[in-house]
Structure 1
Amino acid sequence: MFSLKILIVEDDSVSALLLQRALEKNNHEIIGIADSGEKALDLLEENHSDIVMMDINLAGELDGIKTTEIINEKYDIPVVYLSASSDAETLNKVVGTNPSAYVIKPFNIRELNMVIELAIYKDRKEKELQKLNNELEEKVRIRTAELYEANKELTKALEKEREINELKSRIVLNVSHGFKTPLTSILSSAQLLQMYAEKEHPFKQKIAKHALKIENSVRALNNLLTSVLFFGKADANKMEYKPKKMFLGAFLKEVLDTVKAGIENDATIKTKFGNLPKTITSDSELLYQVFENLLSNAVKYSKDGGEVLFELDYVDGNLVGKVSDQGIGIPKSEQPQLFDRFFRAKNVGIVEGSGLGLSIVKKCLDVLKGDITFVSEVGKGTTFEVTIPAK
């Protein structure tokens, strides 16, 4: 057994002497014998002790329990109680001081040595545990502080990003609006040129041809600006659902007229409308974006002279529409990206486009609380189906 420095606190001199001899036989060093709590504290003030053997009943103002409380608070040294009594009242008194062990007098040497070893082992383990706990608390404190600082930096970064996005949205909206007016003027001039070309003129055919090119180019650029403006509003969280009563027949005619005006590959659009109501309540601008983009894409990616089928029905308070073509189709590996902004499949070839149309469709359907599905096969065409609540 290892050697320890021990303080004996015992007011019975005979018991103290017997305990001293027993401990010294096991190579322990007795730093002193105190017959009162006050004297025990004085000895500890001047000497280091590994353990205290404490009699519970002491003469003076401080008994063993009060003395132990002071030792626990001031020195943090393990205490082994010595007592001739093992009654419940005595045991209840000592429990509150968290003693390292409790020995009943008279004791034998073997039992005493075992108690002392256990007391030292218990004390060391408790201190190791406390040290680990303190280290853990410190790590948690440091980590918490680091997370707090990181959160502050993240908040600053997010605020900065928000400001940049707002600035970007304002720039996009202002620039796009700025383009709208001159484009309208160019389109009007192109249409006037076409009117003049109808009269007898040596360059009649050339004027008509180039005026049509100008008109188509302006329409394409105008559509692009409309898409940019759309996403400018979306990114600025300014897209709202604004339902109003609308005449469905007039709406569909407007969509079809617009799409047909932009056909450049002689594709045709065949319609198949079911039992549609005369009026519905929905957001006409969002609906327009859905059907105009789906039909324009179907026409654009159809073969020259191909046919696009536009079906629309009204079922259980929902508009159910299908747009089918026999065009180039979408590669299966690229279909998961179909609604991503600016995504264009690799097989589009020289067909012009911004890659925004289907992204706009999906965004509008999210606001309308509608759904979209599609099936597509390369070389055989694509069919989109939408279901949109409309009362």
Structure 2
Amino acid sequence: MTKAKILVVEDEAIVAKDLQYRLIKFGYAVPAIASSGEEAINKAVELSPDIVLMDIKLKGVMDGIEAAQEIYKRLDIPVIYLTAYADENTLERAKITEPFGYLLKPFKEKELQTNIEITLTKHALERELKANKKWLDALLRSISDAVIASDMQELITFMNPVAENLTGWKQEEACGRNSSEIFKIANAETHNAIESPIARVLQDGITVNLPAETILITKDGAEIPIDDSAAPIKDDKDNITGAVLVFRDITERKRAIEAGKKQIEQEQLLVQWEEINQLKNDFLNLVSHELRSPLSNMKLMIQMLQLSPNTEEAQHYLHLMEGECDRELGLINDLLDLQRLESSSYPVITPDALVLQQWIPWIIEPFQIRIQQHQQTLRLNLPSNLPPLLSDGISLERILVELLNNTCKYTPAGGEIILSVRHNSSEAPAKTIITVSNSKEIPVTELPRIFEKFYRLPNADIWNQGGSGLGLPIVEKLVEQLQGNIQVESGNGWTTFTLILTDLYSDPIAKR
């Protein structure tokens, strides 16, 4: 074990030699003796002793207290005063230099040795503590997170450079101020102030996390989104002595999240674009087929007319051509109507007071011949006490015509079609409910697609049931125009479309 080196500062040569002898006897090394303050400083710089035994009254302009202060400041070497003076003024001056001991002459050898050993131990612990503090300070200053520490009164005791940059406060400005003054936080959406987590940590002794969407309001009023946690600082007896707050700027993280959301949105748009592109392809395929077929038929009929001398046969082909023209015109009109409905350019709704007992028989009259030709039956359930319905007659007529046309096409020969109307006044507002049913069941798997554009039931062509697949989408859009609702269900050999309507009024009407 290395001997402790002790520098003796004493202007009385005999006293100095006696002290050196005793120290050597204790097992210490005494490499030099100084008799003045200036010499003591120079020897301390040269030899780096472990302890300085300092007499207060020295020869020259510098006394022992001044010399001790300079040595401790420059070299961090502990000083023990050995003096015959114990007056209050000397003692107060000595206390300012933070000596490790103060022995009054004459003193006992054991007392001197005890003071030296205590000083060596205490100084070693202080050096270790300072080293740990420097290590911790360097660690806290080098980490990427901001760190703020407070005492039990919520007063700031430490801030690392990251915390300084984020808050806008320098450590020397912040220390001693309340944490809520330095660490101002609020909700990002409402801007309502949020209590500093340090207060709760000190009160409850638990680790606290900030709520989501928290912003830090800096010294100059800037807003920074942050994420943080606060925890208590405890001593070796588990007593709370303060709190530490660790937080970070999450601006980049939020940008990354937003970028991720945008990427997802772009991917969704791409999927939608692919769906639209597929819809366009389906549309082109359908239109090319539906438009080409009538044109091809008409061309063939024209050729037949040119070759046929038979007037009756010519009339037959002219009749067929007229039907194909009507079919072509109907498809084009359906496309234009659906386009106007989807682009909100459909004519403004004009409500009429419809007397359904008279109006509905007039609507179904054109279907009677067609129904007889297909050997179908049409049953009408129309109560006599129905109140007038305030609705758009043109739109409602189109809806019923499309529904009846659809049921006529898909109802087998000998099948039945039922149109029923009832009025429900038990709810507010009162509702008029119209159902169109036919004795042909639609597979349950097909029902979700029944109102899709260009969709037709599987095997529709096999059943010799043409069509563009636009009738029911037009119905759905027209029902929306009337602020109503339409549903379809199928089972037990029947398919039923249910139309639910309320009266339209002139002032709050949904206008296109």
Question: Normalising TM by the smaller chain, what interval?
Answer: 0.5 to 0.7
Match of 2:502 in 1: 389
Question: Which among 459, 473, 476 is matched to residue 359 of structure 1?
Answer: 473
Tell me if 1:320 matches 2:433: yes
The equivalent residue for 1:231 is 338
In structure 2, distance between residues paired with 1:227 and 1:10: 101
- Equivalent residues in 2 for 1:1-391 (5 A)? 11-14=97-100, 21-25=120-124, 28=127, 49-50=134-135, 72=158, 130=246, 133-134=247-248, 137=249, 140-146=250-256, 202-204=310-312, 206-239=313-346, 242-248=349-355, 251-252=359-360, 255-257=363-365, 259=367, 265=374, 267-275=376-384, 280-304=389-413, 306-316=415-425, 317-327=430-440, 329-348=441-460, 349-350=462-463, 351-377=465-491, 380-390=493-503
Larger Rg: 2
Structure 1 residues 117 and 251: CA distance shift in structure 2, 3 A: same
Number of equivalent positions = 283
What is the Cα deviation at residue 293 of structure 1?
Answer: 1.3
Taking the aligned partners of 2:347 and 2:161, their CA distance within structure 1 comes to 71
Deviations for 1:321-361, whole angstroms, at most 9, x for unmatched residues? Answer: 2222223x201222233233333232533411222322222
Q: 1:178-235 deviations in whole A, cap 9, x for unaligned? A: xxxxx9xxx9xx9xxxxxxxxxx9432x344333433333333333333322321232
Distance across 2 between alignment mates of 1:278 and 1:49: 91
Structure 1 residue 259 displacement after superposition? 4.5
Query: Deviation string for 1:4-47 (max 9, x for gaps)?
Result: xx999973313699886234555945889xxxxxxxxxxxxxxx
Q: What amino acid is aligned across from residue 229 of structure 1 in structure 2?
A: L
The verdict on how the C-alpha distance between 1:332 and 1:116 changes in structure 2, with shifts beyond 3 A counting, is: closer
Distance 2:97 2:400 in 1: 102
Give the drift of 1:310: 2.3
The share of aligned pairs that are identical, in percent, is: 17
Query: Which structure carries more helix by proportion?
Result: 1
- The answer to whether the 8 A contact 2:352-2:390 is kept is yes
Q: Secondary structure at the match of 1:311?
A: strand
Could you tell me whether the CA contact under 8 Å between 1:7 and 1:49 is conserved in 2? no
CA distance in structure 1 between the partners assigned to 2:256 and 2:449 by the alignment: 38
Q: Secondary structure at the match of 1:383?
A: strand
Structure 2 segments unaligned to the other structure (5+ residues): 1-75, 79-94, 103-114, 138-150, 163-174, 180-197, 199-233, 288-293, 302-308, 505-512
Contact 1:298 1:324 (C-alpha < 8 Å) held by counterparts:
yes
Q: Shift in Å at residue 374 of structure 1?
A: 3.8
What is the distance in 2 between the residues matched to 1:346 and 1:221? 23
User: CA contact under 8 A between 1:331 and 1:345: conserved in structure 2?
Assistant: no
Equivalent residues of 1:245, 1:282 under 8 A apart? yes
For residue 100 of structure 2, give the secondary structure of its aligned residue in structure 1.
helix
Code of the residue aligned with 2:338 in structure 1: it is: F
For 1:255, give the aligned amino acid: I
Q: Which has the higher contact order (CA 8 A, sep 6+)?
A: 1
What is the TM-score normalised by the length of structure 2?
0.42
Using a 3 Å threshold, how does the CA distance of structure 1 residues 270 and 251 change in structure 2: closer, same or farther? same
Deviation at 1:268, TM superposition (A): 4.8
Structure 1 contact 302–326 (Cα < 8 Å) conserved? yes
Q: Deviations over 1:110-153 (max 9, x none)?
A: xxxx96999xxx99x95xx73xx33xx2xx31133345567788
After TM superposition, the score normalised by the length of structure 1 is 0.53
